[in-house]
Structure 1
């Protein structure tokens, strides 16, 4: 019985029950986020909150009860499961409702932010996102190298610009901000170089930024295609 429940929860079968459960959880996640799109506090939104939280609680309990199948560590699994990342996310998605029920806690803003975590629950119920997550894990070394390269380049260009145009950038953080938006070729225009040398640095930074920003896209795309071929 518990093994069948685990199979449904983890979407390990193509049965109608498993697909229906996944669809139920996706709809529940969406309904739980809808109230965050409005500033008004309507009765309908309160109903959404309580119903969706009840479903999340049920899902959390069922996953805890079948934790030994997930972790494969016997009885220790029931102790270790609440400490796993997704279990913590699940718990943080449930707690905001209880905070909101007690107005004396004055944690409504924190509770509202906590409810945003429910978006991450989609990872568990979407096969495409699961594939993308596997790609990120398999390509983590290459992606980490790109992150280190981009971070180093931002720090270097920020320091260079901060030295070249000290009057334009009041703080080093302003230079970091400029370097980041230049690297990503966004260019809001609120902070910009005024000297000839500063403009040359901006040009070089923007051109190199295109190449650096394109690297993760190529890595993820190649990994995604390989993962799809494996599944097929």
Structure 2
């Protein structure tokens, strides 16, 4: 039946929009968490023949951002704040089709200007500070291993630290690519015609354009 097909299509778009919003929040949270990951050096002493002592070093990983309610709540707050501004700049309906004829100068429509930093800035500052602090912490770990007595697994430790640095570079590269892509898309949205704008895309489909799920 046509009516049932229309309702089914509408409900599927609602579910996909909610799923893409959840994926966007999870992705942005994971990026900050990945930027805050740091290696921790541990040494285990073992004594044999009553006087000979050897030290075996190992690396574990932790986060500079504690997993408590305040810190994780703040991360989610700045993520939702940024997604809210993205929604305002997209000039689309959250779930369905948006017709925007004479109300394009509504205050709810986000402007492409320096005020974007008010909404995007807290998340970007949190990401940059976490990434720089983790790089500094990783470099201190490298110096600790260098000044320790040589051990049999020292080469393995250096390889693990190299993998951490490569991971950090990949995280930063991914963030830069997403930021540049987002700025270009927002610039294109600004150049859209302001009158008689009919947008058939919802916010979930725009998130798919920003983050490429």
TM-score normalized with structure 2 length: 0.30
Structure in which a larger fraction of residues adopt helix: 1
Structure in which a larger fraction of residues adopt strand: 2
TM-score normalized with structure 1 length: 0.28
| Bigger relative contact order (CA 8 A; separation at least 6) | 2
